[in-house]
Amino acid sequence: AQKVTQAQTEISVVEKEDVTLDCVYETRDTTYYLFWYKQPPSGELVFLIRRNSFDEQNEISGRYSWNFQKSTSSFNFTITASQVVDSAVYFCALSLGYGQNFVFGPGTRLSVLP
Amino acid sequence: DSGVTQTPKHLITATGQRVTLRCSPRSGDLSVYWYQQSLDQGLQFLIQYYNGEERAKGNILERFSAQQFPDLHSELNLSSLELGDSALYFCASKNGNYGYTFGSGTRLTVV
């Protein structure tokens, strides 16, 4: 069975600090996709990034960066110079293949204080 | 606007009642997924439809059912509602190779 763990339930940082959200996944499949979604207080789920199991290249996009390491089954997400608008619940999710449903982690609530 | 439309946005109903949640996927998307987000269970996959046919089932209760119509919109029917069914229900559609787009959700409150 697949499982996604986000050990950090809540994180509080002060604006402009860097923050890393941890995600550890479990699957026996060799082909899978990993996602990060953001859920702001308004409630919608906003797509941030997708990575497949064959692409361990890490990426930086503006203030966001991702660190995918198959050796440790981790897919961590970093926000650099956090802003108040980054306050949200962040979900890591796993999908086993094209068109397959997600298994979501429990989420990490990030509060960025001014 | 994500392109995935869910109605209604909010729904308040009494225990024992039946409700129908509606989802219209992004134009051209054939797959529809339903998820339930509750405080105690988190985000859970309920059911998937592809071009009118059921493709996968998750933790969906027998009191719940869904269908996808020829115009590709989908409905999730919840019956004999209990207090514990209060949750945010999301619909998502899959767009080609890029990824999944979620609707803004329907918040169901059972009183």
Tell me: the pLDDT tens digits for A66-76? 999 999 999 99
Q: What is the DSSP string of chain A?
A: --EEE---SEEEEETT--EEE--EEE-S-SS-EEEEEEE-TT---EEEEEEETT----EEETTEEEEEEGGGTEEEEEESS--GGG-EEEEEEEE-STTPPEEE---EEEEEE-
Are A100 and B94 inside 8 Å of each other by CB?
Answer: no
Distance from C-alpha of A74 to C-alpha of A38, rounded to nearest angstrom: 18
Asked if A1 contacts A103 with a C-beta cutoff of 8 angstroms, the reply is no
More confident residue, B96 or A87: A87
**pLDDT of B97 strictly over 80:** no
Residue-level pLDDT at A98? 67
Q: Could you give the percent of chain A with pLDDT greater than 90?
A: 71
The whole-number average pLDDT for the span A33-50 is 91
Are B45 and A102 inside 8 Å of each other by CB?
Answer: yes
**pLDDT of B95 strictly over 80:** no
Are B45 and A43 inside 8 Å of each other by CB?
Answer: no
A23: nearest Cα among A76, A67, A69: A76
**pLDDT of B65 strictly over 80:** yes
**pLDDT of B99 strictly over 80:** no
**pLDDT of A33 strictly over 60:** yes
Q: Closest approach of chain B CAs to the CA of A13, in angstroms?
A: 24
Residue A7 φ/ψ region, left for φ over 0, alpha for ψ in the -120 to 50 degree band, beta for the rest: alpha
Chain A interface includes B102 (CB < 8 A): yes
Chain B interface includes A99 (CB < 8 A): yes
Distance from C-alpha of B25 to C-alpha of B55, rounded to nearest angstrom: 16
Q: Closest approach of chain A CAs to the CA of B91, in angstroms?
A: 10
Beta bridge partners of A68: A75
Residue-level pLDDT at B84? 95
Q: Count chain A–chain B contacts defined by CB atoms under 8 A.
A: 50
Q: Closest approach of chain B CAs to the CA of A82, in angstroms?
A: 25
For residue B8, say if its preceding peptide bond is cis, omega within 30 degrees of 0. Answer: yes
In this complex, the residue of A47, A100, A102 whose CB is nearest that of residue B101 is A47
| CB proximity under 8 Å: A 37-76 to B | 37, 42-45, 47, 50
B31: nearest Cα among B77, B75, B65, B74: B74
In this complex, the residue of A44, A102, A104 whose CB is nearest that of residue B104 is A44
In this complex, the residue of A42, A50, A91 whose CB is nearest that of residue B43 is A91
| Residue A85 φ/ψ, nearest 5 degrees | -70, -10
**pLDDT of B78 strictly over 70:** yes
